[in-house]
Amino acid sequence: MKFTFTPDKGCHVKDVKVNGKSIGAVESYTCSSLKIYDRITVEFTDGTLPFTDVRETDWFYDDVVFAYENGLFSGTTATTFSPYASMTRAHASSRSSTGSKVNPPSPAAAASRMSRSAATMKPPSPGPPTTASSTEPAP
Question: How far is 33 from 13, CA to CA, in rounded Å?
Answer: 23
43-74: b (≥16 Cβ within 10 Å) or e: eebeeebebebbeeeeebbbbbbbbbbbeebe
Phi and psi at residue 84, to the nearest 5°: -100, 5
Q: Is the pLDDT reported for residue 125 higher than 70?
A: no
DSSP state of 98: S
- pLDDT higher at 99 or 51: 51
- pLDDT higher at 8 or 89: 8
**pLDDT tier for residue 17 given thresholds of 50, 70 and 90:** very high
Q: Give the per-residue pLDDT at 109.
A: 52
User: Cβ-count burial of 7 within 10 angstroms (0-12 exposed, 13-18 middle, 19+ buried)?
Assistant: middle
Do the beta carbons of residue 79 and residue 51 sit within 8 Å?
Answer: yes
**pLDDT tier for residue 3 given thresholds of 50, 70 and 90:** very high
**pLDDT tier for residue 45 given thresholds of 50, 70 and 90:** confident
97-110: b (≥16 Cβ within 10 Å) or e: eeeeeeeeeeeeee
Measured from the Cβ of residue 25, the count of other Cβ atoms closer than 10 Å reads: 21
52-100 residue pLDDT tens? 898 878 898 888 888 887 788 888 888 999 988 887 887 777 665 554 4
Question: How far is 73 from 66, CA to CA, in rounded Å?
Answer: 9
Percent pLDDT > 90 in the chain is 19
